[in-house]
């Protein structure tokens, strides 16, 4: 269970709630331009755009939940169980494992237009990071200030959707969410109040469309976190297989400035990390101390 949104308020903002049943030890992580990201089927990613986001670092490799690159392009992976389908390697295609999508696309692409060209050859392959880190069933939202895309690899093929809402949640697939949002009169009908993916999508779309731009950075970031708070999941409200699923953290990145804001479950304090405070020409991952 997760919700991602975009928000234009002077600068462009991108972020999400991460709703899971456990903590994975995720940290704010800066991947500088010369960090070597090892790839399964493609040449290792050695020189690329720098990026900042929330990641689990496994065997020295950042597995990003979401990130923004230095050009202002952002991407997040959200849980997509029972619908995600990954493929065999195909010669001549852009064969990427699910965990490689964020670093490769944000590393190689400066704009959403470039992403649209790159994903024409995309083949998301059924290769885990390691035996101890299995595949996660995901779909993705990719955005910059020009718009948003949703990418879904399903049993009937790869789906690339223009996302006019700038919002993504979980199951069902995006085309259902879009039809549902178009049918649901967001501005006249009472919004449902449960924590289902369909409801969170509708509520997030309504809230971001109704939210007016703010004058200052503090006001814009505050408004972004208020929107996320209204689609967050309190602990104890959703239980699956005997385990509570709730919002572990919320994030908001000013994509124009490369400033990553976040707060964790149980705290209203918003912390931040500015990617430009670090050596973006380096070869080693950077973990801001405040995380």
Contact in structure between 112 and 73 (CB atoms under 8 Å): yes
Among the listed residues 237, 107, 82, 236, the one whose alpha carbon sits nearest the alpha carbon of residue 172 = 82
Which of these is catalytic: 2, 61, 252, 253? 2
> Token pair 């006249």 is at which residue?
188
List all residues 6 or more positions away from 43 whose beta carbon is below 8 Å from its beta carbon: none
- What does the block give as tokens for 262? 């976040």
Q: 109 an active-site residue?
A: no
DSSP assignment of 156-201, as one string? Answer: TEEEEEE-TT-EE-SSS-HHHHHHHHHHS-TTTSPPP-S--HHHHH
Q: Using the structure block, give the residue that is written with the tokens 């709630």.
A: 17
Can you tell me the distance from the alpha carbon of 130 to that of 237, in angstroms, rounded to the nearest whole number?
Answer: 33
Residues with a known catalytic role: 2
């Amino acid at each position: 269970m997760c919700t991602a949104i975009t928000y234009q308020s002077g600068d462009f903002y991108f972020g999400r709630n991460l709703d899971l049943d456990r903590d994975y030890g995720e940290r704010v992580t800066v991947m500088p331009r010369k960090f070597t990201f090892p790839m399964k089927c493609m040449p290792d990613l050695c020189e690329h755009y720098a990026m900042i986001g929330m990641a689990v670092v496994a065997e020295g490799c950042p597995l990003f939940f979401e990130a923004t690159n230095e050009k202002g392009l952002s991407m997040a992976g959200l849980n997509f169980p029972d619908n995600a389908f990954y493929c065999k390697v195909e010669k001549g295609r852009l064969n990427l494992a699910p965990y490689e999508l964020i670093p490769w696309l944000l590393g190689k692409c400066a704009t959403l237009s470039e992403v649209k060209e790159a994903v024409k050859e995309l083949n998301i392959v059924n290769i885990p990071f390691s035996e101890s880190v299995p595949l996660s069933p995901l779909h993705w939202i990719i955005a910059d200030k020009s718009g948003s895309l949703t990418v879904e690899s399903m049993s009937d093929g790869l789906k690339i959707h223009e996302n006019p809402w700038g919002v993504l949640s979980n199951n069902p697939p995006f085309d259902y969410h879009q039809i549902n949002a178009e049918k649901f009169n967001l501005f006249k009908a009472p919004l449902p109040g449960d924590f289902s993916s369909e409801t969170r999508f509708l509520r997030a779309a309504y809230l971001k469309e109704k939210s007016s731009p703010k004058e200052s950075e503090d006001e814009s970031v505050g408004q972004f976190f208020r929107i996320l708070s209204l689609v967050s999941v309190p602990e104890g409200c959703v239980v699956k297989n005997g385990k509570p699923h709730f919002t572990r953290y919320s994030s908001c990145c000013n994509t124009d400035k490369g400033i990553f804001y976040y707060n964790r479950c149980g705290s209203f304090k918003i912390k931040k990390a500015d990617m430009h405070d670090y050596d973006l020409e380096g070869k080693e991952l950077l973990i801001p101390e405040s995380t």
